[in-house]
């Protein structure tokens, strides 16, 4: 009778104490950032940062009275955000305030460095966690319109300041002759327009041109129409519910602002745009900046931006694409090589990266 040898389990690799300590500290920092974001969200909704920016430094009693909140809770909140470095604390007089930089980041609505928009976005995605967990299991994605309503407004609040700072001064001038065409009068389509911010920015700057925004989310279109009316631009800007493969019209310029990578069939959307262009027309594709290789996006210089975009892509962009036909799911870090390949596959013969910033790629495509 033979005796079988005992099965030897592979020995677990030894833990490096220094590496463990570094990782432990990093994750603790991320935990602080996560809970700090919730504190910042609450402070924004209660108007506490704006109060400190306008009237501070203040005592906890003064903050509570002016904001109409509970003093004991706001005292703890102020201590927490002071520990986070979001506000300042002066022991002499026990007063809390904000530096000019803290005021910009937490209270200056519309400033390019204002960060309550991304904080709103993260909060909205946390609310969708059960749906996202299911999407991981079944692979059918999560449609944009099936997210909670906070996502749509938080996306505009996030991208709006960047668009206002970049569209007119950086992105449009990156395509030779485009500003002059718009000044002379052109027909422009904004595909995946969301709440209409990008179309309204261009319409306000180029009164001789006409603009059409298309989005398959009717709720966003309704808000875009309201914004156009409030801006006094409804005579030159129209918003219609339509998919990226079914809108009608002929255009001198077709724009995709942070939208193509969210589409289920980006090649089909780009091909339809090519069919809708007038002779000599151009597609302007604006996408989150990314390198072509994962390892380059993980580099120390790129990681802070790529980390956020990969996370948002995991929780919103890729599930959104998977919920549509084809479901190609480029993701928010597609990079110039994949974006160029999509445009060539769609029939564009001339494609180039016209501009790149720390946050965005601007790609020009012509038939």
In this prediction, residue 49 carries a pLDDT of 98
Order of strands, edge to edge, in the sheet holding 187-191?
Answer: 237-241, 210-215, 187-191, 251-257, 277-288, 360-366, 350-356
The answer to whether the beta carbons of residues 87 and 96 sit under 8 Å apart is yes
192 and 315 part of one domain: yes
346 and 244 part of one domain: yes
Asked whether residue 3 carries a pLDDT value surpassing 90, the answer given is no
In this prediction, residue 189 carries a pLDDT of 98
The answer to whether the beta carbons of residues 230 and 156 sit under 8 Å apart is no
Asked whether residue 71 carries a pLDDT value surpassing 80, the answer given is yes
Q: Is there a domain that residue 51 lies in? A: yes
In this prediction, residue 304 carries a pLDDT of 87
Asked whether residue 152 carries a pLDDT value surpassing 80, the answer given is yes
164 and 240 part of one domain: yes
Residue 124 CB contacts under 8 Å (≥ 6 apart), including other chains:
147, 148, 150, 151, 154
Mean residue pLDDT across the chain: 95
Q: Is there a domain that residue 271 lies in? A: yes
152 and 75 part of one domain: no
Q: Residue 174 and residue 180: Cα distance in Å, rounded?
A: 12
pLDDT-based confidence at 10, cuts 50/70/90? Answer: confident
Q: What is the CATH number of the domain that holds 209?
A: 3.40.50.150
131 and 278 part of one domain: yes
268 and 354 part of one domain: yes
Which domain, by its residues, includes 65?
A: 25-107
45 and 167 part of one domain: no
Q: Is there a domain that residue 11 lies in? A: no
What percentage of residues in the chain have a pLDDT greater than 70?
98
Percent helix, strand, coil in the chain, to 5, is 55, 15, 30
Residue 81 CB contacts under 8 Å (≥ 6 apart), including other chains:
36, 39, 40, 43, 87
Query: Which of 86-90, 211-215, 256-260, 299-303 is the least confident region?
Result: 299-303
79 and 189 part of one domain: no
pLDDT in tens, 103-133: 999 999 999 999 999 999 999 999 999 999 9
Boundary of a domain, candidates 107, 129, 155: 107
Predicted TM-score (pTM) of this structure: 0.91
234 and 211 part of one domain: yes
97 and 141 part of one domain: no
In this prediction, residue 13 carries a pLDDT of 86
Q: Is there a domain that residue 114 lies in? A: no
Q: Looking at the DSSP assignment, which residues form a beta bridge with residue 253?
A: 188, 282
Boundary of a domain, candidates 75, 107, 139: 107
In this prediction, residue 300 carries a pLDDT of 85
DSSP 71-121: HHHHHHHHHHHHHHTSSEEETTTTEEE--HHHHHHHH-TT-TT--HHHHHH
243 and 294 part of one domain: yes
In this prediction, residue 365 carries a pLDDT of 98
Boundary of a domain, candidates 107, 135, 154: 107
278 and 346 part of one domain: yes
The position carrying tokens 């300041």 is: 161
């Amino acid at each position: 009778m033979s005796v079988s040898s005992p099965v030897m389990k592979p020995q677990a690799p030894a833990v490096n104490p220094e590496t463990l300590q570094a990782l432990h500290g990093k994750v603790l920092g991320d935990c602080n950032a996560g809970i700090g974001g919730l504190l910042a969200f609450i402070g924004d909704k209660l108007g506490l940062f704006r109060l400190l920016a306008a009237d501070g430094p203040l005592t906890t009693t003064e903050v509570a009275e002016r904001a109409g909140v509970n003093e004991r809770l706001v005292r703890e909140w102020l201590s927490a955000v002071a520990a986070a470095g979001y506000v300042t604390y002066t022991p002499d007089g026990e007063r809390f305030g904000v530096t000019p930089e803290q005021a910009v980041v937490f209270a200056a609505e519309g400033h390019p460095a204002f960060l309550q928009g991304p904080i709103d976005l993260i909060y909205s995605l946390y609310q969708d966690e059960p749906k996202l967990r299911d999407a991981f299991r079944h692979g059918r994605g999560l449609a944009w319109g099936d997210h909670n309503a906070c996502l749509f407004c938080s996306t505009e609040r996030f991208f709006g300041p960047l668009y206002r700072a970049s569209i007119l001064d950086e992105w449009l001038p990156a395509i030779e002759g485009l500003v002059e065409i718009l000044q002379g009068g052109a027909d422009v389509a904004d595909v995946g327009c969301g709440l209409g911010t990008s179309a309204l920015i261009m319409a306000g700057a180029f009164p001789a041109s006409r603009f059409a925004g298309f989005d398959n989310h009717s709720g966003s279109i309704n808000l875009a129409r309201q914004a156009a009316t409030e801006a006094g631009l409804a005579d030159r800007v129209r918003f219609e519910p339509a998919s990226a493969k079914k809108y009608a019209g002929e255009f001198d310029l077709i724009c995709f602002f942070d939208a193509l990578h969210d589409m289920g069939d980006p090649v089909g959307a780009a091909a339809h745009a090519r069919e809708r262009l007038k002779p000599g027309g151009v597609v302007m594709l604006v996408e989150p900046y990314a390198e072509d290789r994962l390892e380059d996006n993980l580099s120390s210089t790129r990681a802070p931006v790529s980390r956020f975009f990969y996370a948002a892509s995991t929780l919103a962009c890729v599930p959104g694409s998977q919920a549509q036909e084809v479901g190609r799911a480029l993701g928010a870090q597609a990079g110039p090589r994949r974006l160029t390949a999509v445009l060539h596959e769609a029939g564009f013969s001339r494609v180039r990266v016209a501009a790149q910033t720390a946050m965005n790629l601007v790609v020009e495509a012509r038939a």
